[in-house]
Structure 1
Amino acid sequence: MFCNQCEQTAHGIACDIAGVCGKNEDVAALQDALIHALQGLSYWAREAHRLDLRDEQIDILVLKGVFTTLTNVDFDPARLSELIREVVARREALAARVAAHGGGVPVGSDCLAFAPAVDDDALVDQGKALNLIESLDVDPDIRSLKQILLYGIKGICAYAEHASKFGQSDPVVIDFIHEALIALDTDGVSLEDGVALALKCGEVNLRAMELLDAGNTGHYGHPVPTQVPLGHRKNKCILISGHDLKNLETLLQQTEGKGIDVYTHGEMLPCHGYPELRKYPHFYGHYGTAWQNQRLELPAFPGPVLFTTNCIQRPASTYAQRVFTTGLVGWPGAQHVPEDDFSVVVEMALEMDGFTDYCDKGSVTTGFARNAVLGVADQVIDAVKAGAIKHFFLVGGCDGSRPGRNYYTEFVKQTPKDSVVLTLACGKFRFFNQDLGTIGGIPRLLDIGQCNDAYSAIQIAVALSEAFDCGVNELPLSMILSWYEQKAVSILLTLLYLGIKNIRLGPTLPAFITPNVLNYLVDAYQIQPITTPEADLQAILAL
């Protein structure tokens, strides 16, 4: 086993016995075999596109397949084995169809001839034998760039798969995924080619986030500032975690009028700001504060839990009887339910006690996406010109369990009172319930939304730069980002594609970036690791 795709990889090098995330070496091997199988399918899909034989179902399968290998999505060996075999079967069928129309692909690549074993244990052995990461390239710098590309497209596929549920797609996105998978299998990639592919990945991710934004806002309206209770009220209850708004809507529809309150967890918090979701009176509050959002203290929640996408930490197996997964998510011991039928979750909620009292733990405000912020743009601009707002900080990204993430809590606490903090993604749960006050009626802490709502943050930054007739890098705006998994990689690549400089990244730098690649990023974009809140704030405000 060799896996270094997340921030918490063992010893800062790689997980080689078991994943810090909880996956074992068999799951890691099957995920590698799945990527290998998808590379073979992409060769034929690219040729099919050239011949105008595009098969949208295959394109969706590739998105789902790549997304499945993202950290903490699917740890179920049986489901992974089934998916690998489906990918290879679709590869063979597509190859026959393309050949019948006079098409073909270059011969010689192992992924084109990959035949998964019938026996699951033997398939695991095949995955282990691939030695996927080491086989990407003999040159460590090229291998590093290919890993950046691989992890970047994993993030893209997460966003593109969600967007596809709303009918939002763009051939540009899936065509790049195919090209990237093929590039990973290609020898002779130069340093320049690798950098160009990484930046192209950032460009395509921007489009994927735009598609998802269009799907979310097109169906549920633009988020509006909304107060969300952190306590609970006396009633039956269900907790939903993840990122998938479509799954949340389905759950709200299927619990309507049944005496069940729906609580969000993790990155579902921003969903309270969408008008078409908040209209449900039983869509009540958010469960957990700060680090509890990621540890998910299940014993304290008296109802079933539904996971819709990857979460930072899998629930303990002792609670598995009331844990449900849906979509691509799969964990041994958890019951997987179809995305259009949550009846078993509802039935369990009705059987359990639920909350038997009322508890007021205050509230937080979410829903400051781009429309909400730009709706008061004149006030913001006037406050900047008057000197009431002197700096903006974007403090966002992923959360995790590694020590050092309290940096972000302390950083936000210490930001000057004449500054505004924009935040997004699950990293905000280190400080999302802090009261930073207001400036001229504008809250100093603005929750923009989920990780994919980096699109909103980018639009806000662009609008401010246009208002002040300067580039984004000339704005009094600093980005302090935390990363954990591959969606953060794709967002970082998007920021680099846009030419954003002076990003501070932590808690540690990616283990898959070699010194030479890091030096390039430092020279070209002035990326730097976080140090201490005090030192970083002093350096930022001195500029």
Structure 2
Amino acid sequence: MSMFCFQCEQAAGCKACTGKAGVCGKTEDVALLQDDLTRELIGLAVAYDGKTPSKSAVKVMIEGLFTTVTNVSFDADAINKTIDAVKAEKAAVNPSVRLDCGTPGEPLKLWSVDEDIRSLKSLILLGLRGVAAYAYHALVLGYANDDVDAIFFTGLRAIARTDAGMNDLLPVVMEVGNVNLKCMEMLDKANTDTYGTPVPTTVPLTIEKGPFIVISGHDLYDLYQLLEQTKDKGINIYTHGEMLPAHAYPKLKAYPHLKGNFGTAWQNQQKEFDNLPAPVLFTTNCLMPPKDSYRDRVYTTEVVAYPGLVHIGDDKDFTPVIKKALELGGYKEDKAMTGINGGATVMTGFGHGTVLSVAGTVIDAVKAGAIKHFFLVGGCDGAKPGRNYYTEFVQKTPEDTVILTLACGKYRFNDLDLGTIGGLPRLMDMGQCNDAYSAIRVAVALAEAFGCGVNDLPLTLVLSWYEQKAVCILLTLLALGIKNIYLGPTLPAFVSPNVLNFLVENFNISPVSTPDEDLKKILK
């Protein structure tokens, strides 16, 4: 049976990817295996109804959900191994579980129910996949949370219910958002406890001559291991995509061979990696099917997998990557590269620790009228036309406004020089997508300082979405009651008209239009 997938922003025709392959590059058989994996994870959740999941069950649940996030695993063999692990966990607790979720090799049955129920179940499932990605990174560093672990099981059990109505599912949708805030807080603590509090850092985009390795994704522990294993080997390390904020963590930036950032956002990799004289290590989602011109130098680790690529296992022995870097040799001379807008450097490191340390300066600037409005312009980047909206929006913001940003959507404008306000940059990169927690912390602190609610602040969120981590962040914002969000470049295909109307009426979510029109409406 044909695949059916509408979990990401690039779903074909803004409806769904069907047929033999998805727009992301996953094949029909891989898409159906991911549905089989999801079906087994739902079964595992049902098997633990009324019981506390074991640590091994939680681990396989998190890994399984993360595996199904867009641009993570394209490898049927790897997915089958995960399915077997889930089956083994389920058999150990309740081998007799039976579900009404369709049969193996077919799309999930939940996709074919009433569209409003399907929409809410999709928000739960896709939100849980995003939460799982963050929980995975925290777990790697030894951090876990009982509420976070539990939501995967309770959320999937809600999806399994055939009698659930909108009133049953809406609270679960909001609970996924609430728990994701705890998950992002946990990951923030894991990262800062382990690597220090991020500090403002200027990151060069020039690639120095000689051997180098590009590391992409989100996992800071993988970067740390790679830095340790490449010490004194004459190999430089460059971040890519969502790994850029790593430069701001003191323990990581202490390595002198962590040199700078290569390229821009994930969707440009097939062009930017073309005939690259260096290997690339993918640690999390963001992998695209590699072209022949660089396929032999792409490596995967963690749950990332692609047929024919060398995978680095749990031992984290990056020797094959290191050997490839020395073999390829890098560029013969320094290679000057720039961001999308021609800038030679970018800045990062403006997490809540930094911003709140100068909160007094920010508050005084607002009271004095120097800062009239804050914008959070961030989220996922993507290839679909229309995303130049975010570049134009930032360029057209008045000089008495501040732009906070996070995630890979910032590559549309993070090399722009927008000047300063009161000694602070007008454009401040808060970090990875999970660092939406920093933005929330700052917003709450400002609201407390001015004695008002977050929705009363001169603050507007202008978000771009692509995949499931953006979904769980949106659910967190909604669970916190944050309103007046601008969302684009298109609205999710899995949200039904009735559910969309609910979000518009209760949270005033608006689709982006044009920068001029939206700025006029925001700053009226």
TM-score range, shorter chain: over 0.9
2:17/2:23 contact within 8 Å kept: yes
What do the CA deviations read for 1:438-483 (whole angstroms, capped 9, x no partner)? 1121100000000000000100101111111111000000000000
Secondary structure in 1 matching 2:208 = coil
| Equivalent pairs, count | 514
Give the aligned partner of residue 340 of structure 2: none
Which amino acid counterpart does residue 342 of structure 1 have in structure 2? F
- Cα RMSD over matched residues? 1.6
| Deviation at residue 176 of structure 1 after TM alignment | 1.1
2:205/2:261 contact within 8 Å kept: yes
How many angstroms apart in 2 are the aligned matches of 1:292 and 1:519? 31
Give the aligned partner of residue 70 of structure 1: 69
| Deviation at residue 376 of structure 1 after TM alignment | 1.1
Call closer, same or farther: CA 1:300–1:269 in 2, change over 3 Å: farther
- TM-score normalized by the length of structure 2: 0.95
How many angstroms apart in 2 are the aligned matches of 1:296 and 1:250? 28
Alignment partner of 1:7 is 2:6: no
1:28 to 28, 31, 43: 31
1:502/1:525 contact within 8 Å kept: yes
2:100/2:160 contact within 8 Å kept: no
Give the aligned partner of residue 240 of structure 2: 265
1:348 to 313, 324, 327: 324
How many angstroms apart in 1 are the aligned matches of 2:407 and 2:15? 25
| Deviation at residue 181 of structure 1 after TM alignment | 1.0
- TM-score normalized by the length of structure 1: 0.92
Alignment partner of 1:322 is 2:322: no
How many angstroms apart in 2 are the aligned matches of 1:38 and 1:347? 38
| Deviation at residue 300 of structure 1 after TM alignment | 5.5
Secondary structure in 1 matching 2:73 = coil
How many angstroms apart in 1 are the aligned matches of 2:312 and 2:283? 10
1:136/1:184 contact within 8 Å kept: no
1:9/1:20 contact within 8 Å kept: yes
How many angstroms apart in 1 are the aligned matches of 2:357 and 2:49? 43
What do the CA deviations read for 1:212-251 (whole angstroms, capped 9, x no partner)? 1111001000100011110111221000000000000000
Counterpart mapping for 1:11-410 below 5 A? 11-17=13-19, 18-49=21-52, 54-95=53-94, 108-110=98-100, 127-129=104-106, 131-132=107-108, 134-136=109-111, 138-289=113-264, 294-295=269-270, 297-299=272-274, 301-311=276-286, 313-339=288-314, 340-361=316-337, 362-410=344-392
Call closer, same or farther: CA 1:227–1:46 in 2, change over 3 Å: same
Give the aligned partner of residue 438 of structure 1: 420
Secondary structure in 2 matching 1:449 = coil
Bigger shift: residues 296-305 or 239-248:
296-305
| Deviation at residue 375 of structure 1 after TM alignment | 1.2
How many angstroms apart in 1 are the aligned matches of 2:346 and 2:267? 15
How many angstroms apart in 2 are the aligned matches of 1:150 and 1:288? 32
Which amino acid counterpart does residue 210 of structure 1 have in structure 2? E
| Deviation at residue 296 of structure 1 after TM alignment | 5.4
2:275/2:294 contact within 8 Å kept: no
Bigger shift: residues 237-246 or 161-170:
161-170
Bigger shift: residues 243-252 or 332-341:
332-341
What do the CA deviations read for 1:115-152 (whole angstroms, capped 9, x no partner)? xxxxxxxxxxx5333x30x4356221011100111100
Secondary structure in 1 matching 2:5 = coil
How many angstroms apart in 2 are the aligned matches of 1:85 and 1:255? 35
1:290/1:431 contact within 8 Å kept: no
1:144/1:512 contact within 8 Å kept: yes
Call closer, same or farther: CA 1:309–1:236 in 2, change over 3 Å: same
| Deviation at residue 315 of structure 1 after TM alignment | 2.4
Give the aligned partner of residue 439 of structure 2: 457
Indicate the percent of aligned positions where both proteins have the same amino acid.
55
